[in-house]
């Protein structure tokens, strides 16, 4: 029988959550493996409301994946291509400009940029992507490249990670997204992304980015070959770096989408699993201000529910998403601000537009200015 909130077995964890005390690895395992979904959700919602009240954050953003050509062959990825594949593509400078101008016309405050590691492209090509975006529209915040790309740039230039990041910041980089984390445990990485940058690299890059004053996000890919102990280990490793640097802004649990991947035999996580992961993250990551329910990945209805299971953010308008749509996501490729407002209000929360750095966006149609940091308003 799953553990319910009133069961004696739940009491030690319930008491810790109510007292605002830190949960241990063993607490995490108990929550993940044995707690009933409602119990998990109720506890996580307590923490969510303590930190972010009734607010639910979103942003107006656009995605850009400059190339899908990639030297890596991660088994969970449906987006990558070989150079000679029919679906292989690489953006030109004109295509980059067109995408940024489309973002500006739609009122975007952020552009989210990730892509493949193209073996024929130099670091200068990747640097130029950032520069072209920045010069075309300097007011749009560029959230780009994961540690997997940064590590690749360091490898091809034979320069330290710090140098790579400094060049990118000079070209216009504003922050880093949370991808490439997958599951940190080596035994799982060996099965799903054997040759990719390992967890030490992932943490080193984020640590260096935080030391340079960049903020970043973190993710966890669940629902493939990993087990509960790997998930808890993943969350605790993130909590440790956050204790050290305080540089993470938001955590995004990502459900594995099997379609068109080498792991297509695995069944996609169901809604219960998705809500459990949102709640578990909220409870274990006591030093993260925000938990994001990425609606593109969850679907709009699960994202609405997630706002009462620990999440306080749903990402944004997300125009031109490819990574999840290549892997079978059935959500639309973007939502309007009106649709996002309706989605959040239907879930009983109050929508607040934020920029990438969680400052209030003051909007007059497609024009906008940045207001106060939202953390001061929520007391987080
Ligand atoms: O690292 C790739 C995952 C990530 C699949 O920081 C897959 O605001 C499921 O990190 N099924 C990239 N997941 C996306 C990402 C992200 C998304 C939204 C917001 C932010 C942010 C970051 O997507 C990859 C990998 O973990 N992924 N393929 C797949 N078939």
Nearest residue (by CA) to ligand 1, atom 12, is: 179
Q: Compute the distance from residue 254 Cα to the ligand 1 centre, in Å.
A: 6
239-269 pLDDT, tens digit per residue, is 999 999 999 999 999 999 999 999 999 999 9
Domains of the chain, each with CATH number or no CATH: 8-378 (3.20.20.70)
For ligand 1, pick from 221, 297, 320 the residue to mutate: most ligand atoms within 8 Å of CB: 221
162-203 pLDDT, tens digit per residue, is 999 999 999 999 999 999 999 999 999 999 999 899 999 999
What is the predicted pLDDT for the residue at 377? 54
Give 136's pLDDT tier (boundaries 50, 70, 90). very high
pLDDT of 379 over the 90 cut: no
What is the predicted pLDDT for the residue at 378? 53
pLDDT of 37 over the 90 cut: yes
pLDDT of 18 over the 90 cut: yes
Is the whole model's pTM more than 0.75, yes or no?
A: yes
Q: What is the mean pLDDT of the chain?
A: 96
Q: pLDDT above 90 covers what percent of the chain?
A: 91
What is the predicted pLDDT for the residue at 333? 80
Distances (CA, A) of 32 to 24, 25, 280: 12, 10, 7
Q: pLDDT above 70 covers what percent of the chain?
A: 99
What is the predicted pLDDT for the residue at 334? 84
Query: Which residues touch 175 (CB under 8 Å, ≥6 apart)?
Result: 141, 142, 143, 214, 215, 216, 217, 249, 356, 357
Neighbours of 184 (CB within 10 A): 22
pLDDT of 364 over the 90 cut: no
What is the predicted pLDDT for the residue at 376? 53
Which protein residues touch ligand 1 with a CB less than 6 Å away? 76-78, 177-180, 182, 217, 219, 221, 252, 254, 256-257, 261, 294, 315, 323, 327
Nearest residue (by CA) to ligand 1, atom 10, is: 179
Give 324's pLDDT tier (boundaries 50, 70, 90). confident
CB 220 within 8 A of CB 235: yes
Query: How far apart, in whole angstroms, are the C-alpha atoms of residue 335 and residue 62?
Result: 11
Query: How far apart, in whole angstroms, are the C-alpha atoms of residue 174 and residue 110?
Result: 9
279-305 pLDDT, tens digit per residue, is 999 999 999 999 999 999 999 999 999
For ligand 1, pick from 247, 254, 324, 328 the residue to mutate: most ligand atoms within 8 Å of CB: 254
């Amino acid at each position: 029988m799953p553990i319910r909130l009133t069961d004696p077995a739940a009491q030690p964890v319930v008491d810790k959550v109510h007292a605002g005390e830190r949960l241990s690895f063993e607490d995490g395992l108990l929550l993940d493996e044995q707690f009933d979904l409602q119990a998990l959700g109720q506890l996580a919602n307590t923490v969510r409301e303590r930190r972010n009240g009734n607010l639910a954050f979103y942003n107006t953003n656009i995605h850009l994946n400059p190339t899908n050509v990639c030297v890596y062959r991660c088994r969970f990825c449906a987006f990558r291509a070989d150079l000679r594949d029919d679906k292989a593509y690489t953006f030109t400078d004109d295509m980059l400009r067109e995408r940024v101008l489309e973002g500006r016309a739609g009122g975007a405050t952020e552009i989210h940029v990730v892509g493949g590691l193209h073996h024929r492209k130099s670091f200068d090509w990747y640097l130029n992507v950032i520069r072209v975006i920045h010069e075309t529209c300097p007011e749009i915040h560029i959230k780009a490249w994961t540690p997997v790309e940064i590590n690749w740039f360091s490898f091809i230039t034979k320069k330290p990670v710090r140098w790579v990041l400094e060049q990118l910041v000079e070209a216009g980089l504003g922050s880093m997204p949370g991808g490439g984390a997958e599951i940190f445990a080596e035994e799982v990485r060996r099965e799903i992304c054997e040759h990719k940058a390992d967890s030490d690299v992932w943490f080193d890059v984020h640590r260096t980015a935080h030391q340079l004053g960049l903020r970043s996000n973190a993710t966890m890919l669940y629902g493939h070959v990993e087990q509960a102990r790997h998930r808890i280990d993943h969350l605790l490793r993130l909590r440790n770096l956050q204790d050290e640097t305080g540089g993470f802004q938001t955590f995004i649990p990502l459900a594995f989408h099997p379609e068109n991947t080498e792991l297509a035999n695995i069944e996609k996580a169901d809604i219960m699993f998705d809500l459990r992961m949102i709640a578990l993250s909220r409870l274990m990551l006591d030093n993260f201000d925000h938990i994001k329910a990425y609606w593109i990945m969850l679907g709009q209805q699960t994202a609405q529910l997630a706002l009462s299971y620990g999440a306080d953010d749903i990402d944004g308008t997300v125009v031109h998403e490819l990574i999840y749509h290549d892997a079978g996501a059935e959500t639309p490729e973007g939502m309007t601000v009106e649709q996002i407002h309706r989605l959040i209000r239907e879930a009983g929360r109050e929508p607040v537009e934020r920029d990438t750095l969680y400052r209030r966006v003051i909007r007059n149609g497609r024009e906008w200015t940045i207001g106060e940091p939202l953390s001061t308003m929520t007391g987080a």
